[in-house]
Amino acid sequence: MGSNSDSPCYQATPEDQIGELYAATRRLMTAENRSEVATIAVETATAILDFPFSVFWEATDSGLKAEAISEPLREHVEVPDEPGRRMRHERGSWLWDHYESDETQRVLVDEEKAASDAPLHGCISVPLPEYGLLTAGTDERAEPTERETQLADILGKNVLSTLERIERERELKRQRDNLDLLNQIVRHDLTNHLQTISGRAELLRDQCSGDALEHADGIQESSQAAAELLETAGNLATVMRQTDWETEPVALGPVLSSVSEDIAATYSDAQVTVPDESPSVRVRADELLSSVFRNVLTNAIQHNDSAVPSVVIDVIDDGDVVHVTVADDGPGIPDEQKQAVFERGEKRLDSDGTGVGLYLVRTLVDAYGGDVWVEDNEPTGTVVGVTLRKAAGDA
């Protein structure tokens, strides 16, 4: 293989070359941007081929410009920090033809064709469609070998795959950001409209009777249900965007107290019973823990056919975990539906809802490393249990 004429001759072994390719693949897997990929590509091409003159060329509307160059090549470039200002190949040049060919090629290069004054003779070019070109040049007056070409081709495929992965991730992030913005705008505006609807319905109740009063109550109930669905949908959207879950110690007592008070205020015709003493334990969760219990309690009341729906919350300390149970006196859930109610889009037979509330509960509790289950209550009704891991120091 070629080497810089001013440096000692070194022949990389096949094992060395495979090792460099493997190391480069691992580096490329964690690369976060094009510039980082270009640097890795140039360093690897130089190392595995022992070709001193490696370049990552960026494809532009006017041609190719150097984005990253190997260290030995910097000696021959007047502006080493901005090689693209000096090293260029316009459209129609021999190197541009290589880029458009979509095939890895090996050639002997006339020094007059080079973009620098480097003593370039042999060259391998690896097209990176839509992105640019990777070249590795040698000062030896011989055409690169078939094996050298194969190694460069493998490296090029890994580089291209990484560039495509980064592009996909960038596009996904852009889409997520747009959805986040849309979600914030829609939730904010709809929440304001629903509050206005509910407030006006309340004013109408004071001036209505008979059927009109029933319609005013229906408006309030519908706006309340829509507000709850909007909050659940927003929380579910947050969950679905998560890739890595990070939990933190969350005090269980304040969360249960806050949620139960809100539910009792919202459903004034229901009876919500909480433990005599607020639990002092902390659990592994995040800011969405309140959504878990809000959905469980809401589900217990909405599907309760009792004249005065009753819901009892209990907390059981069990070593490294804590169990929170929500027992209602409703009609219960058939055995064949007990696990299905936690699936996405599944709902009770008597439900007019979307079936996303308990799915959100299951998703969040799973992310926290906990468990959720359903069993019969005695003499009638359902018990929904949520098991959460205690935070370090609370076990």
Please state whether beta strands 63-69 and 88-90 pair in parallel, antiparallel, or not at all (unpaired). Answer: antiparallel
Q: Exposed, middle or buried by CB within 10 Å (0-12, 13-18, 19+), for 352?
A: exposed
Distances (CA, A) of 395 to 75, 187, 318: 63, 38, 9
pLDDT digits (tens, 9 = 90+) for 216-231: 878 877 777 777 777 7
Every domain range in the chain assigned CATH 3.30.450.40? 14-172
Tokens 């249990």 appear where?
A: 385
Average the pLDDT over 7-31 and give the result: 78
Distances (CA, A) of 14 to 73, 143, 285: 25, 19, 50
Query: Residue 309 CA to chain centroid, in angstroms?
Result: 40
Structure tokens at 65: 């410009």
So what's the pLDDT on residue 387?
Answer: 96
Q: CB-based contacts of 148: which residues, under 8 Å, 6+ apart?
A: 1, 49, 51, 106, 124, 136
Please state, in angstroms and rounded to a whole number, the distance separating the CA atoms of residues 327 and 382: 6
Among 306, 303, 308, which Cα is nearest to 268's?
308
Structure tokens at 5: 């004429």
Are the beta carbons of 380 and 328 closer than 8 angstroms? no
With a cut of 70, say whether residue 156 has pLDDT above it.
yes
Distances (CA, A) of 262 to 105, 228, 269, 311: 70, 12, 13, 14
Q: pLDDT grade, residue 249 (50/70/90)?
A: very high
Residues in the chain: 395
Please state, in angstroms and rounded to a whole number, the distance separating the CA atoms of residues 99 and 103: 8
SS3 of 154, please? helix
Give, in words, the CATH class of 244-394: alpha beta
The CATH homologous superfamily to which domain 14-172 belongs is GAF domain (3.30.450.40)
Are the beta carbons of 38 and 67 closer than 8 angstroms? yes
Distances (CA, A) of 99 to 58, 93, 156, 201, 250: 10, 10, 12, 68, 56
With a cut of 90, say whether residue 20 has pLDDT above it.
no
Are the beta carbons of 157 and 128 closer than 8 angstroms? no
With a cut of 90, say whether residue 374 has pLDDT above it.
yes
Structure tokens at 48: 């595995």
Distances (CA, A) of 25 to 18, 32, 42, 138, 377: 10, 13, 13, 23, 56
Every domain range in the chain assigned CATH 3.30.565.10? 244-394
Percent of residues in the chain assigned helix, strand, coil, to nearest 5: 50, 20, 30
Distances (CA, A) of 343 to 213, 264, 339, 348: 37, 27, 8, 11
So what's the pLDDT on residue 385?
Answer: 95
So what's the pLDDT on residue 125?
Answer: 92
Q: pLDDT grade, residue 250 (50/70/90)?
A: very high
Structure tokens at 386: 């949520």
For residues 112 and 20, the model is more confident at 20
pLDDT digits (tens, 9 = 90+) for 276-309: 888 899 999 988 899 899 999 998 998 888 889 9
